[in-house]
Chain A
């Protein structure tokens, strides 16, 4: 327990000094995807549910925030709030339908519903279709913090990220989280103890979708862009990769995985290997699944346990 708080402290300190060492936009990208992957991991790592449609919530957060801020002149804080709520509501609908299914069927239902959302965003008049929404203003937070200043934007993103991190950590270590773990460990047994497991899965799904939306809303302000990429099924696959690479079912794994993927992509996309990016990510994925299943953080924890206990 002490160890975890220590690592949280390290995370906060690193977050505070990062923009003086690295490009702020680069770190903000990592934080947004890190939050997205952590939200996804709440389902995969702690309830045992593989959603293959989380891009829908990232995209919904992004589009709703982008639309409200750009077209109605809403403040960034309310834009983010409503983007998050919209993703949460969509999560409530998708989740209700998906939690009735198990295993691969759960994944298929989430994928199918996310494809519906994708085609909606492609066709809807306000999303800009293939081009997406561009030039979304960052605005002024709470009326006095100008987000066009890159450090102001950075610390806003950090605050959002830490809020998401705190909420996920709290959820995992709550009475609710205890039931989720029981469901992950042995669903029939949880049922036979009188828990309506589908209701618990549903609430977890809504929390996860909302936080994925929060990541999307925040990302939209950072890049001043809401695009179809975020709602595409590739993105649903990428978050699986991030989580597995970093270590599913660990608190920090998804963040480490997101940082790794974002770094690799940034590094490759500039150079001549840019065309092979999907193949390289695919190879990493295969190696990760076959060779070190617990992911970076999981393997690290095993190593520490073996050598320092």
Chain B
């Protein structure tokens, strides 16, 4: 009853032309936790993220952030409130340098982002902070390289550094380890653990090993609705979950 929720959805629904992708979802994300959203492909996880950040408009239902209704806010406004997302496909600015990627996020709070008559040298005062952030994800030595030339794992780490630059209260990560080799998976999940200290994280994740290691609470989504919720033990021993999702990957849980 007295749990402290950063984010809540109430009866969230999204229909695409008669097809219900998100069906009456009630999420309660506790402050300071790592909350994982899992489920088979096409279950509606990315769609939930798109609704939370208003890249899609909900058909019905409510979204509460710190108890305030943010259902009618626009994407950029939600980001400024402190809810910042990453994307399933790595979201970087390919033809900016690694440093510039982070700096463009830091720049927003400077209030000079419309100043077209000023030299961009004024942004150099953000470089120290940008390097600090890059350092925290192990990218400081690549600061001046062009992002497009970086390997996939580094791009995902850069994406996290860029998100951290906004110091978001709630971070939404959509499959942060997808398509990564074993080593990158380990380093990114360590990184997520590290950055979760002062904030709340809601993440979509397919890798159950990562989920078991990181998540305080898990919600299982199936065909748009929540099948069950709880910690890893509870969820992984649920027979319906095994059937719907874990059944096919018994060896992964072992």
Instruction: Identify which of B79, B105, B117 contacts A174 (C-beta below 8 A).
Output: B117
Of listed A174, A175, A179, A188, residue having the most chain B CB within 10 A: A175
Q: What number of A residues sit within 8 Å (CB to CB) of B?
A: 27
| Residues of B94-109 whose CB lies within 8 A of A | 94-96, 100, 103-105, 107-108
Interface residues of A in 145-179 (CB under 8 A from B): 170-171, 173-179
Counting CB contacts under 8 A, is B120 at the interface? yes
Among A3-11, A191-199, A252-260, A262-270, which stretch is in contact with chain B?
A191-199
Query: B219 interface residue, CB < 8 Å from A?
Result: no
Q: Given contacts A182-B93, A189-B91, are A175 and B122 in contact (CB under 8 A)? A: yes
Q: Which of B77-96 contact A (CB under 8 A)?
A: 77, 79-80, 84-87, 91-96
Chain A residues with CB below 8 A from B120, complex form = 173-175, 177-178
A residues in contact with B72, CB < 8 Å: none
B55 lies within 8 A of A188 (CB): yes
Given that A194-B79, A196-B76 are known contacts, is A177 also in contact with B116, CB under 8 Å in the complex? yes
Closest B residue to A197 using CB positions? B76
- Contact flags A181-208 to B (C-beta < 8 A → 1, else 0): 1100110111111111101100100010
A142–B115 alpha-carbon span in the complex (Å): 30
Bound complex: CA A195 to CA B84 (Å) = 12
B66 in the interface (beta carbon within 8 A)? no
> Which residue, A171, A189, A191, A207, has most C-beta atoms of chain B within 10 A?
A189
Contact A174 B75 (CB under 8 A): no
Contact A203–B114 (Cβ < 8 Å): yes
The answer to whether A192 touches B115, judged by C-beta atoms less than 8 angstroms apart, is no
Encoded as 1 (CB less than 8 Å from any A CB) or 0, chain B from 147 to 182 comes to: 000000000000000100010000000000000000
Would B119 and A170 count as touching, CB distance under 8 A?
yes
Known: A189-B87, A203-B114. A175 touches B75 (CB 8 A): no
Does B117 contact A170, Cβ atoms closer than 8 Å? yes
* Complex interface: chain B residues within 8 A of A186 (CB): 91-94
The reply to whether B84 and A193 contact each other, CB–CB distance below 8 Å, is yes
Please classify the interface of chain A as helix (H, G, I), strand (E, B), loop, or mixed, using the class held by over half of its residues. Answer: helix
Q: Residues of B within 8 Å of A, CB-based: how many?
A: 38
- How long is the Cα–Cα vector from A213 to B8 in the complex, in angstroms? 51
B49 to chain A, nearest CB (A): 10
A193 and B79 in contact (CB under 8 A), knowing A173-B120, A177-B120, A188-B55? yes
CB pair B113–A176 under 8 Å, yes or no, is yes
A11 to B114, CA, bound (A): 28
Q: A186-B91, A186-B92, A191-B76 are in contact. Are A171 and B55 (CB under 8 A)?
A: no
B107 near A179 with CB under 8 A, answer yes
Report the bound CA distance from A186 to B103 in whole Å.
Answer: 15
The distance in angstroms between the C-alpha atoms of A173 and B76, with both chains bound, is 24
Chain B residues whose CB sits within 8 angstroms of the CB of A196 once the complex forms: 74, 76
**CB of B112 within 8 A of chain A?**
yes
- Please tell me which one of the listed residues B77, B105, B122 contacts residue A193 in the complex, with CB atoms under 8 A apart: B105
Per the bound structure, the CA–CA distance linking A190 and B122 in Å amounts to 20
Known: A193-B104, A194-B166. A181 touches B95 (CB 8 A): yes
A46 to chain B, nearest CB (A): 11
Using an 8 Å CB-CB cutoff, how does the interface string of A278-306 with B read, 1 for contact, 0 for none?
A: 00000000000000000000000000000
Q: Is the CB of A189 within 8 A of B75?
A: no
Kindly provide the distance from the CB of A84 to the nearest chain B CB, expressed in whole angstroms: 16
Query: Does A192 lie within 8 Å of B116, measured CB to CB?
Result: no
Q: Which of B85, B100, B115 makes the CB contact (< 8 A) with A176? A: B115
Out of B75, B80, B123, B166, which one reaches A178, CB within 8 Å?
B123
Tell whether, in the assembled complex, residue A171 and residue B116 are in contact, meaning their CB atoms are under 8 Å apart: yes
Assembled-state Cα–Cα distance A171/B114 (Å): 10
16 residue pairs of the A-B complex, CB under 8 angstroms, read: A174-B116, A174-B120, A175-B115, A175-B120, A176-B116, A177-B120, A178-B123, A185-B93, A185-B95, A188-B87, A188-B91, A189-B91, A191-B55, A192-B75, A192-B86, A194-B79
On A, residues with C-beta under 8 Å from B are 170-171, 173-179, 181-182, 185-186, 188-197, 199-200, 203, 207
Q: Which B residues lie at the A interface, using CB under 8 A? A: 53, 55, 74-77, 79-80, 84-87, 91-96, 100, 103-105, 107-108, 110, 112-120, 122-123, 162, 166
19 new A-B contacts at CB < 8 Å, known A181-B96, A193-B162: A170-B116, A170-B119, A171-B117, A174-B120, A175-B107, A175-B123, A177-B120, A178-B104, A178-B107, A179-B107, A182-B96, A185-B94, A186-B93, A192-B79, A192-B84, A193-B84, A193-B108, A194-B76, A200-B114
